[in-house]
Structure 1
Amino acid sequence: MRNRLHAQVVVVGGGPVGMLLAAELGERGVDTVVLETKASVSERPKARVLHARALQGLARRGYFPELVGGTAPAGEKAEAPFRFAGIPGLCITAPASEPGPVLKCPQAELERLFEQRARAVGVRVLRGRRVTGVVQEERGVRVTVQGPAGCLEYAARYLVGADGGRSTVRELAGVPSESFRATTSGLAALVTLEDARELPPGWHRTPRGWIVAHDIPGVGTHVRTLDCSGPHPDRHLPPSTGELRAELARIAGREIAFREPRWLSRFSDFARLARSYRLGRVFLAGDAAHLHFPVGAQGLSTGVQDALNLGWKLALAVRGHAGGDLLDTYDQERRPAARRVIDNTVAQLALMRSEPGADSLRALFCGLVAADRESHHLSDLISGQDTVLPGRTRRPSAWTGRFLQNLGLRTGAGRTDVIGLLRPGRPVLLLFGWAGGRHAERARGWEDVVRTVHVAPTPDVPCEALLVLPDGYVAWAAAPDGDRLEDALSLYFGERSPRSGERAVMTGAGVLS
C-alpha cells in the first residue's frame, strides 16, 4: 500500500512559474508542496527578460525593491529599447514610478529567488520526483509520485501543473488543448566562438534565415538559428553539433568556428493553448497552459502573471474566503492574455519570413515601429501593459479591470504608495478623503480579508473609492449609478452577514469542502 501524504495544494514543476506560485501560496499560509523532476536548478540559458507588467506585479509582492525609484509625476516615463520581429527601434515604456520597462535576468536566477522565498515561508520543495498519476475526487486530488523512496501518494485540495510545455499534469488530468503545427525549425546552443568577430552580438538576417547571438560574460555565446522554410522532419530528435555547424554556415554563408556546445536544443513555432486553465480542482500555469514561438521574450512574463493571478485566488479558496466562481476567473483573465501572445508571435514570424513580399511588409513595419513611440500599441502589447481584465459586476466603471499605477498616497500615518500597500498580499480598499469614508461601514463585514486604507484625495484618482486586488488590478470603483461596494465584495470574497461579518453559506468551485 502506498504511503499517503497530505497538502492543501500540490504544485508540479519547480521552474520560475511553479516556484513563484508556491511562494505566493506559502506566504498566505497555504500548506504547499512543490514536486520537481530535476535535482537542481538548470543553468541552461533559457528566458532572460521580464517585461513591464510582470515586473510591476512582482514589485507589489516585494520583489526587486531596488528597482522602484519611488513615486514620480504622472506621465513621466522610463524607456528601454527593444525589437518587434527583429526590427529595431521599438521603445518599451513604463511609468517612472514602477520598477522599469524591462529587466534582463537569467531564468535560473529567478528560479533560485522564488525558491528561496518559497522555502522561507514553509513550502516543501521536493526534487527528483516524477508524477505518474492524477485522480480527481469530489473533495480533492490524489497525485501519485515516483521518487527516491519509491512510490508515494499526495492527497491535496488542489493541483497546479506548472511543469512545462510537455506537461504531465495536463496529459494525466485530460485537459484538452488547441495546437498549431510547426512551420519553422530552429536551434539554440551555448558555445564558445573561436573568433568572436565572426559572430558579433545581435540579430543577423540573410535570405536563408536568422542567427541571433548574445554574449553571456564568463560563460559563452548563446546562439539561435531560425529556418523559416519548413519544420524539421522530427522536432523531438536531439540535435547534433554537426547539425549546428552546418546550419550556421548555411545561414551565414560562411563557416563559423566554435568549440563543442555546452547545451544544444531544438525549437520551432509550434504553439499550444489549453482550452481551459481549470478542470475541476486541477489548474495549469506557464508553458503547461500556453506555448508559443519564442520571439519578443514574452513567455516568462506571461507565466509570471499567471502565478500572480492564481496565487491569491487559490489561497482564498483554501481558506474559504473566495466567492463562488472566483477560481473560474483565472481562466477568464489569463487565457485571453496568452491568446494575444500567440497571435502577436504569429504576426512577428510572418515579418521574419523570406517569402515574396516580406521585405515590403518589413519596410512598412519599420515605420510603424518608429511611430509606436507615440501610440505605444506595439510596446504595450509586448510588455503586457495593454491588459485590461473583464469586468465582473453588472455596471463596471471606467476603472474596472485596469492596473493601478504606483501612486504616492498620504495616510494618517504618513506617506506611502500603492506598491507598499499591496505588499502584504491582501486586497485593499482605498477611501479618498471624507467622501470616500462613507464606504468604510459597507466593507466592515469583509475586514478579515480586505484591508481598508483612508488616504487623502489625489487628482490621479478622481473617484471616492477603489477596491484593488492583490495583483494590482481594480475590481470596483465608486461611481454614480455604479455597482454597490457590497455587491463587488460578495462577488469576489463571498457573502457576509451585514451585522456580524460572519460568512454566509457558500456554494461553488471556490468553497472549502
Structure 2
Amino acid sequence: MDYDVIIAGGGPVGLMLAHELGLHGVSVAVLERLTEVDETIKAGAINVPTAEALDRRGLTPALKAAEERNRAEYLKFVRERFGESAGPPPPPVKFAGHFAGIWLLGDRVDENDPDLTARGSASLVSGVRQQDIEVLLEERVTALGGKILRGVEVTGIESHADGVTVRAGEHAYRCGWLVGCDGGRSLVRREAGFDFPGTPPEITGHQAIVEMEGHEQLSPGWNRTGTGVYVHGPIPGRILTVEYDGPPVDRDTPITAEELQASLRNVSGADVKVTGVRSATRFTDNARQATTYRLGRVLLAGDAAHVHSPFGGQGLNLGIGDAVNLGWKLAAVAQGRAGEALLDTYTAERHPIGAWVLDWTRAQVLLMRPEPRALAMRGIVSDLIDTVTGTTYFVKRISGVWQRYDLPGDHSLVGTIVPGLEFADGSRPADHLHDGRGVLFDLGAAPETGGRVRRVTAACPDRPDLGGLLVRPDGVVAWATDASGGESPERALDTWFPPDRR
C-alpha cells in the first residue's frame, strides 16, 4: 500500500479528517485538484460543535485571531455603509442568527436553558471563514507528516477486497481505505456506486464579493421582495441573491459582472451597477443524501455525502462533524486496533444529523418564496419566533447545541458533547484531548479501566454531582456516572476502545 488512507478532496472536511488520522500516526495522503486554497466566497461562520471540535485540538487561539481579522472587515462594511463615524452595532446574543431571514433577537433567548449554559468559552468563537480553517488545518496536517498533493485530481477508483486503487491521470495510488471528501458532485461517490436520493433544485442563487456603484440603495442584511431575496453585507461588497425561477442552465460557466448585476437588480429593484467581481459562486437548493456513508473500503464525508442549500450556514459545520466522528474510528480500523464494525457507527450516528440539515434548509427555501402560501406560513413562524420558547428553540438548532448521539447508557450526558467543565487545577476537558485519544476523567467515582484509555484524575467544584466521564476522541461522552457511583464503564470501553486486536 502507498498509504493507509487516501482522502479525495482537500477542503476543510478532507483536511480535518487528515488531521484526525495524523494524530494517530496513520499514513494519509490528500489528493486535491486545486493548487492552492480556494478563495471563492464560502462559509463565513462556525457553529458550537465545530468551535468545540477545533478547541479540543488546541486551535482556539488561532481561531480567535482569525475572528478578529474578520471582525475588522465587518467594521469596514459598517463604516462604508453608514459613514466613517459609525461604530459597531450592539454585540449579538451568543448563539443568535436567522431562520429564512427572520432575525432572532437576543432578548428572546432563555439564557438559563441547560443546553446553552453547559458550553465552555470555546463556543463563543464563531466568525471564522472556511479559508481560515483550511489554512490552519493544512499546517497541522503537514506537521503531522500527512501528504497534501495539490494539483492532483482523482479520475477513477477501483475497489479490491483488501484496498482501493485511486487513479489520478496517469498515476495510480494504492491505499487501504478511500474517503471521498470531493464535494457535492463527488466522483468517488459516483464511481463507488452510492445511492444519492433527494429533491431536485428549484432556485438559482448567487453569492459574490463585488465592486459596485449604487450600493447605498441596498438595505443591509436579509431582504425579501416580490421577486426573491437579496443580502447585502456583512463585509464590503458581499451580495447574495435568490431567484425562484428554476435552477441555472449551466452551473459551470464563468460568472460575469453582467449576470450578478441582472440578478441583483431583478431581486432588489435597485439601479446598481456591478463594475468588478472579486469572488463569485452559484448555488441551488438541490438536497440529496447518500443512503449510507460506507460501501466496503470507500467512505464519504462532507458534501460528498450530503448536499443542500447554504441557508443557515450548516454545510461546513456538518462536514467537520463528519470528519471528527470518522477520523478516530477509521484510524483504529486501519491500524488493526478495532474491527470494521466500528465503522458502521459512523453512518448510524451522522446520517440522522445530515437528514435534519437537509430538512432545515428545505424549510427555509419554502419560507422565502414570494407567493401567498409561503407568506402565510412565514407569518406564523415569525409569531412563534417572537417568543422566548420559539427563539430559544431556533437558536439551539442553528448553533448545533441540540446535537447528540443515541448511545447506550442511563446518564443524561451520554451521547452529548462533554460539557465545558472547569477543573480545580484550571484545566478543561478539551485541554486533555489535544492528542485525539479517549480519556477517562475520574472525578471521584470512576473505576479502573485496564489502561485502554488515558486516565485524568481531577476535581470539579462546579459539578460535585459527577463522579466520572469516559470521553471519546470526538468529545462525545460514552459513559458517565454520578458521584455516588453507578453503571460500570466496561460496556462502553468494549464498544469504543476494545482490547487491541493486533
Band of TM-score, shorter chain? 0.7 to 0.9
1:466 to partner: Cα distance: 1.7
Q: Secondary structure at the match of 1:465?
A: strand
1:228 to partner: Cα distance: 2.2
1:379 to partner: Cα distance: 1.4
What pairs with 1:107-146 in structure 2 (closer than 5 Å)? 107-146=130-169
The match for 1:316 among 332, 335, 341 is 332
Choose between structure 1 and 2: higher helix proportion: 2
> How has the CA–CA distance of structure 1 residues 111 and 85 changed in structure 2, closer, same or farther, with 3 Å as cutoff?
same
Deviates more, 1:52-61 or 1:87-96: 87-96
What pairs with 1:348-497 in structure 2 (closer than 5 Å)? 348-372=364-388, 376-391=392-407, 393=408, 395-410=409-424, 414-433=425-444, 435-436=445-446, 439-440=447-448, 443-444=449-450, 447=451, 449-456=452-459, 458=461, 460=463, 462-478=465-481, 484-494=488-498, 496=499
Matched, 1:262 2:281: no
Structure 1: 5+ residue stretches without partners: 69-76, 497-502, 507-511
Matched, 1:51 2:54: no
The residue identity in structure 2 corresponding to 1:49 is A
1:80 to partner: Cα distance: 4.3
Structure 1 residue aligned with 2:94: 79
> How has the CA–CA distance of structure 1 residues 461 and 422 changed in structure 2, closer, same or farther, with 3 Å as cutoff?
farther
Structure 1 residue aligned with 2:77: none
**Would you say how many aligned residue pairs link Structure 1 and Structure 2?**
466
What pairs with 1:188-337 in structure 2 (closer than 5 Å)? 188-217=207-236, 221-235=237-251, 238-337=254-353
The match for 2:25 among 29, 54, 59 is 29
Q: Secondary structure at the match of 2:154?
A: strand
Q: In the TM superposition, what whole-angstrom CA distance separates every residue of 1:366-398 from its partner, at most 9, and x where no partner exists?
A: 23223246762211211211111011x4x5433
Measure the CA separation in 1 of the matches of 2:140 and 2:485.
Answer: 44
Q: In the TM superposition, what whole-angstrom CA distance separates every residue of 1:393-419 from its partner, at most 9, and x where no partner exists?
A: 4x5433220111110123xxx442111
RMSD (CA atoms): 2.5
1:276 to partner: Cα distance: 0.8
1:232 to partner: Cα distance: 3.6
Structure 2: 5+ residue stretches without partners: 65-91
Contact 1:80–1:102, Cα closer than 8 Å, also in 2 = no
Contact 2:204–2:282, Cα closer than 8 Å, also in 1 = yes
Contact 1:51–1:101, Cα closer than 8 Å, also in 2 = no
1:320 to partner: Cα distance: 2.3
Q: In the TM superposition, what whole-angstrom CA distance separates every residue of 1:3-49 from its partner, at most 9, and x where no partner exists?
A: xx601111110111111111121122111101000011111111111
The match for 1:105 among 115, 120, 128 is 128
The match for 1:12 among 2, 8, 11 is 8
> How has the CA–CA distance of structure 1 residues 457 and 115 changed in structure 2, closer, same or farther, with 3 Å as cutoff?
closer
1:490 to partner: Cα distance: 1.2
Matched, 1:153 2:157: no
The match for 1:183 among 202, 216, 219 is 202
> How has the CA–CA distance of structure 1 residues 245 and 128 changed in structure 2, closer, same or farther, with 3 Å as cutoff?
same
1:323 to partner: Cα distance: 5.0
Measure the CA separation in 1 of the matches of 2:476 and 2:464.
Answer: 14
Matched, 1:61 2:57: yes
The residue identity in structure 2 corresponding to 1:477 is A
Structure 2 residue aligned with 1:347: 363
Q: Secondary structure at the match of 2:2?
A: strand
Choose between structure 1 and 2: higher strand proportion: 1
Q: Identity of paired residues, percent? A: 38
Q: Secondary structure at the match of 1:308?
A: helix
Deviates more, 1:91-100 or 1:124-133: 91-100
1:134 to partner: Cα distance: 1.2
Contact 2:218–2:232, Cα closer than 8 Å, also in 1 = yes
Contact 1:245–1:255, Cα closer than 8 Å, also in 2 = no
1:357 to partner: Cα distance: 3.1
